[in-house]
């Protein structure tokens, strides 16, 4: 089983690349945001619990998120593995994800981070903002803050996976096809 944590700053192309990689390697793409939206929309017990925190402006506790992810993993153990997109974001979440995978007789194979120049990220997000309808993609100051937050919070995770020899930085600039080829080379080397 190949289990990838796909990381990169906002606008790095994680969603686009995850779509190609899931098809090429028969991996199940787990977007934490999608999992939250599904559970909330379908009024699952975990969704209602998450919504109670979100409605108060609080962060959803790690255990609720892990429980949601565990349900998705268990329902899709027939895939060749998973692409985790948007999780983990902290060392505690990374440890919880390791435990979740261990409970399902697997492990995280690698964290692959798409590395993109900040100017390119800002340009990509502003372009996406023209059609996405997302306010956070239309304001350069907000975009710069999101990128800054990413670097502050993921530096710790980079170290976490580097210590396990599971961190791979990949150039996230160039054509979509070239980026997919670079990511594929890393996955094929695992």
pTM above 0.85, yes or no: yes
Matching CATH number, 2-189, of 3.40.50.720, 3.90.180.10, 3.40.50.300, 3.90.470.20? 3.40.50.300
> What is the pLDDT averaged over residues 115-132?
92
Helices (H), ranges, 8-60: 14-25, 32-41, 45-55
How far out from the chain centre does Cα 89 lie? 9
Lookup: tokens for 52: 């109670």
The number of CA neighbours under 13 Å toward the Cβ of 189 is 12
pLDDT tens digits for range 13-68: 999 999 999 999 999 999 988 898 899 999 999 999 998 988 887 878 889 999 99
Cα separation, 110 vs 94, whole angstroms? 12
Q: Is 99 a catalytic residue?
A: no
Catalytic residue among 41, 124, 128, 130: 128
Task: State residue 33's pLDDT score.
Answer: 82
Closest CA to 65 of 42, 36, 30: 36
14 in catalytic set: yes
Q: What is the pLDDT of residues 142-161, one digit of tens each?
A: 899 889 888 887 778 999 99
Beta bridge partners of 111: 5, 167
> Within 10 A of 182 (CB to CB), how many other CB atoms are there?
17
For the chain, what are the domain ranges? 2-189
pLDDT for residue 137 = 86
Phi first, then psi: what are they for 105, rounded to 5°? 55, 45
Q: Which of 41, 134, 153, 164 is catalytic?
A: 134
Distance CA 39, CA 75 (A): 14
- Residue 182 annotated among the catalytic residues of the structure: no
Residue 77's contacts (CB-CB under 8 Å, 6 or more residues apart) are: 104
Q: Is residue 89 annotated as a catalytic residue, yes or no?
A: yes
Percent of the chain with pLDDT over 90: 72
CA dist 76 to 1, 163, 176, Å? 12, 29, 27
Q: Tokens standing for 122?
A: 């800002």
pLDDT score, position 46: 94
The predicted model gives 167-188 an average pLDDT of: 96
Residue 135 confidence class, pLDDT cut points 50, 70, 90 = confident
The mean pLDDT of the chain is 92
Could you confirm whether 166 is annotated as catalytic?
Answer: no
């Amino acid at each position: 089983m190949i289990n990838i944590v796909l990381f990169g700053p906002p606008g790095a192309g994680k969603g686009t690349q995850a779509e190609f990689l899931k098809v090429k390697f028969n991996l199940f793409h787990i977007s934490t945001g999608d999992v939250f939206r599904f559970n909330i929309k379908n009024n699952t017990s975990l969704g209602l619990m998450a919504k109670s925190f979100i409605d108060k402006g609080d962060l959803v506790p790690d255990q609720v998120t892990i429980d949601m992810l565990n349900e998705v993993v268990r329902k899709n153990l027939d895939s060749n593995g998973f692409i985790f997109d948007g999780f983990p974001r902290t060392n505690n979440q990374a440890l919880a994800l390791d435990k979740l995978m261990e409970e399902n007789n697997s492990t995280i194979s690698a964290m692959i981070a798409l590395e993109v120049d900040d100017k390119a990220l800002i340009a990509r997000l502003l372009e996406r903002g023209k059609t996405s309808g997302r306010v956070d993609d239309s304001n350069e100051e907000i975009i710069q803050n999101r990128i800054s937050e990413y670097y502050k919070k993921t530096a710790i995770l980079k170290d976490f996976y580097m210590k396990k020899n599971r961190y791979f930085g990949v150039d996230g600039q160039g054509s979509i096809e070239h980026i997919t080829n670079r990511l594929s080379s890393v996955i094929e080397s695992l």
